[in-house]
Amino acid sequence: MRGPHNIWRLIRTGATLERTGAMTVVLDAFGAPRSLRIAARALGWPFKWLGYKGDPNLPPATRAITALGPAYIKFGQVLSTRPDVVGSEVALQLRMLQDKLPPFPRDEALAMIRSELGLDPEIVFEDFSEPVAAASIAQVHHARIRETGQEVAVKVLRPGIERAFRKDVDAFYLAARMVSLLAPGARRLRPMDVIRHFDGVVRGELDLRLETSASAEFLANTEKDEGFRVPHVHWFLSSRRVMTLEWADGISAHDIEAIDAAGHDRKALAERVLRLFLSHALRDGFFHADMHQGNLKIARNGDIIALDFGIMGRLDAYTRRVYAEILFGFIRKDYHRVAEVHFEAGYVPPDQDVDEFARALRAVGEPIFGMDATRISMGRLLHYLFEVTERFGMETRTELILLQRTMVVVEGVSRSLYPQINIWEVAQPIVEDYIRDNLGPRALLRDLARTAIVLARFGPRLPQLAEKILVEKEFEVEVEPLPSFFSRPLAAALLSSGFTALLVLGILAI
């Protein structure tokens, strides 16, 4: 579906913003300069009549985004958590995108369940309710399993949602391609890779079997986390378009008045949200990547209940260590070390000056230490960060997109609960614990032991592999190629590291 015909979709996007009155709201929220305002209005106004009308009962920003489709709604959900970036008025307008979108009929949901599960929902469930929450991709019904009497939440995909998302993402591909062609300076942001990454995330979210699996893994990882709960799933009542899980009673995280009325400590809740996210990202390398208020509930006993596991993030061990070192450097105000880590990880091109980069990072970090969170403009901070990345030729790291996005969302949630929260103070003990366990001598020995274990699997073949490498090098004759998992550099590195590992372990044994 990708192609020039998607220009129509982009034109309609601008036209819809203009027709619904959202264009002015959006430009004001981001503090757009006069030149950009003139260009945007010049492109949007002539085509105003082509824009979607939307629901006139909704505020402008929400009206435009809901009319444009599910991919735009996903973007709006992120913005709804950042009143410090888009302003409190726009954030309030967008908050309803989290779980208060127009639902589809209950009968259609029952038909979907019957088709997907091959079961009669009237026999399996009793008290199957009207939709209790409706989001961009699916809606949720409250029901009871007739056989056991257990209360459950039944999540059902919106009919035709796959095609609707495909249309939006195709238009995004075109927009990314246009940005790459017309704005060479933006190529370092790798817009095509960003959209490709977003496309993959969305495809995963549209298959509820993957979400069911993710929720089970997340539950296993977090069962011992104090003050945190993940509902159990019912595998036999879940499929590609239907997911059934334990019903979770609680107050929505964006209902501040109800949280106060229930007597919960909002400061403690805000700090716990942030600590839990950091623990999951650093400790497990598997984190909830859509932690907006609509996906969090506060139980009667104060536990935080996570919902909606369609978007989960993964970090490999190396990336976690880099991420932790960067956070730790900021916490300790060791900007030179933060700069060095960026260079070591390849985040900054090697031809740049590490000292200059450290000075730029200091200009980012110093203004936010020791200052009341309510006085920090994240909009200005993010703008300066963008300037820094551009100045030093830093490319977008697609493997970190979900992490960065979730950090923005989680900080927004924490601030909505307790505006004065100091994210660095909350993060410090989590990061220090990770650094102590993963970046010291003990971690080195653990890595060497793991290397030895891996090598042990190939122990019987190591002499043969070594002989092949030597024959090729000494006699330069053709021999049978090495197995696909063993490149020559990799084999040499493994042999070397294996010898080192065994040597260290032998010394320890003595």
Query: Higher pLDDT residue, 344 or 42?
Result: 344
The predicted structure's pLDDT at residue 496: 36
Backbone dihedral region for residue 118 (phi beyond 0: left; psi -120 to 50: alpha; all else: beta)? left
Q: What are phi and psi of 91, to 5 degrees?
A: -60, -40
What average pLDDT is seen over the chain? 78
Determine the 3-state secondary structure of 458 from DSSP.
Answer: coil
Structure-token pair, residue 477: 């004759």
Beta bridge partners of 305: 229, 297
Which residue is associated with the tokens 């950090």?
Answer: 407
Asked if residue 68 has pLDDT above 70, the reply is: yes
Q: State percent of the chain over pLDDT 90.
A: 28
Among the residue ranges 27-41, 180-194, 495-509, the one predicted with the least confidence is 495-509
Residue type, 466: A
Q: Which residues are catalytic?
A: 290
Among the residue ranges 210-224, 253-267, 466-480, the one predicted with the least confidence is 466-480
How would residue 475 be classed by pLDDT, with cut points 50, 70 and 90?
low
The predicted structure's pLDDT at residue 374: 57
The predicted structure's pLDDT at residue 400: 65
Asked if residue 273 has pLDDT above 50, the reply is: yes
Q: How many CB atoms lie within 10 A of CB 60?
A: 19
The predicted structure's pLDDT at residue 499: 32
Are the CB atoms for 130 and 109 separated by under 8 Å?
A: no
Asked if residue 307 has pLDDT above 60, the reply is: yes
CB-side neighbour CA atoms (13 Å) of 163: 2
Pairing of strands 138-145, 286-288: unpaired
Q: State percent of the chain over pLDDT 70.
A: 75
Radius of gyration of the chain (CA): 26
Of residues 474, 472, 502, the one with CA closest to residue 486: 472
Tell me the whole-structure pTM to 2 decimals. Answer: 0.72
Q: What are phi and psi of 449, to 5 degrees?
A: -65, -40
Q: Based on DSSP, count helices (H) and strands (E) in the chain, helices before strands.
A: 23, 11
Structure-token pair, residue 251: 């107050």
Are the CB atoms for 280 and 402 separated by under 8 Å?
A: no
Q: How many residues does the chain have?
A: 510
The predicted structure's pLDDT at residue 509: 35
